[in-house]
Every structure is written in structure tokens, then in C-alpha cells.
Chain A
Amino acid sequence: EAEVAQSPRYKITEKSQAVAFWCDPISGHATLYWYRQILGQGPELLVQFQDESVVDDSQLPKDRFSAERLKGVDSTLKIQPAELGDSAMYLCASSLRQADIQYFGAGTRLSVL
């Protein structure tokens, strides 16, 4: 069964360092989402791509976060510099089209020390 792949599964970093997360959506899925899930809360959308274009990044802290999906397939989310409050689970999801069901990857657990 096709899955959304994310790496790494776990990342520990010191504050002020740069970190990057990678996501490979289900093959053929045009829409890709990055969510942040703080412990004890539900996921919140950071950025949504339709193919290689950003369609919603209203909740992305653009002073330190960036996201790209250059060829409209896999995607990278970067944080530079990381802050203590960035410790969370970062989840990637994909859907066939924008209005379709979203399928989630296993996530990357980030700990900032």
C-alpha cells in the first residue's frame, strides 16, 4: 500500500541550529501539506502546495521557516534558526487533489535543546 514517506523520524538539535525535514508524498498526489503538532494538541497546517506552488502559507513563521517543492513531487521543510518552542511533531500529508482525503506520514519528532 502506498505511503507518505518522511525522514528523519527523530531529530535532536540545539537552538539556533538549522534543521531540515523531507517528505515524499504518495505517487501521483498533487497536493502536499506540512503540519506541526505540539504535544497535547491537534495538528495545525503550516503550508500547502498544489504541485510546486504554495497555495496557503498563512500560518508559516516566515522569518525562520521555509518550504519548497521544486519539482512538484517531494518537499523539504527547513527551520533556521531553531528555537526551543519549535519542539513538536512535523507531519506531512498528501492528497490526490486539493479537495480529496489527506493521507499522513509517520512524522518527524523534533526536539530543540
Chain B
Amino acid sequence: GEDVEQSLFLSVREGDSSVINCTYTDSSSTYLYWYKQEPGAGLQLLTYIFSNMDMKQDQRLTVLLNKKDKHLSLRIADTQTGDSAIYFCAEKGGATNKLIFGTGTLLAVQP
């Protein structure tokens, strides 16, 4: 079945780079997404990557996709305290188009 896994917690110092990792199981996924959720709020789309790409860069964000290993990562350069939040990886299954979310990674940025 479809499953998405993430590490639970990451702590970095302000100004450092953060790397959040995700593994998924559905090889037919067409798109993979990164969403950000601040406390008590909904999900904000950060970026996404099409499955035939291996890298996408958008300002401070870099997404790397290893389709062979079904591994996705999100790198945040120059991490700021405002980046503290929960980050969700999600895959979109080809058959149903529904999003399957990971459990989320809590990013804590220390000043």
C-alpha cells in the first residue's frame, strides 16, 4: 500500500542549513509535495516536484528526488526562526490523485 515516512524531529541553529528527509512507497507517484504547518494553522504549500525531475530549487528551498530509492529531501538554506514548524512530505498517487501525507517533521530553529 501507499506509505510515506519521515523522521519526527530536527533541531538546527539559525543560519545553518536544514535537511528534512522523506521516503515513500508508491512508485507510480506523479508529484511529490512539501507542506509547512505552523501551530494551530492549516497547511501551506512550500514546493513540489514532478516525478521525472531529480532537483528543483526555489529561493532558499532545494528539493532532491531519488526515484530509484523513493527518497525525497527538502533543504532549507540559511534557516531562520520563522522556519520553525512541522513539515509534511506528501505523494500524489497516480491512480486516485489523492495526497498521502507523512507524519511530519518538527523543525526547531535555535537562535
- A85 at the B interface (CB under 8 A): no
A40-B103 CB under 8 A given contacts A91-B42, A101-B45, A101-B48: yes
- B49 at the A interface (CB under 8 A): no
Contact A107 B42 (CB under 8 A): yes
Interface size on B, residues (CB 8 A): 22
State which of B48, B97, B103 has its C-beta within 8 Å of the C-beta of A98.
B97
Contact B44 A104 (CB under 8 A): yes
State which of B30, B40, B88, B98 has its C-beta within 8 Å of the C-beta of A42.
B88
A109-B40 CB under 8 A given contacts A42-B104, A99-B97, A101-B45: yes
State which of A40, A45, A106 has its C-beta within 8 Å of the C-beta of B99.
A45
- A75 at the B interface (CB under 8 A): no
Closest CB pairs A-B (n = 5): A42-B101, A104-B42, A104-B43, A106-B42, A107-B42
Interfacial residues, chain A to chain B (CB-CB below 8 A) = 4, 6, 33, 40-45, 48, 56, 91, 93, 98-99, 101-107, 109
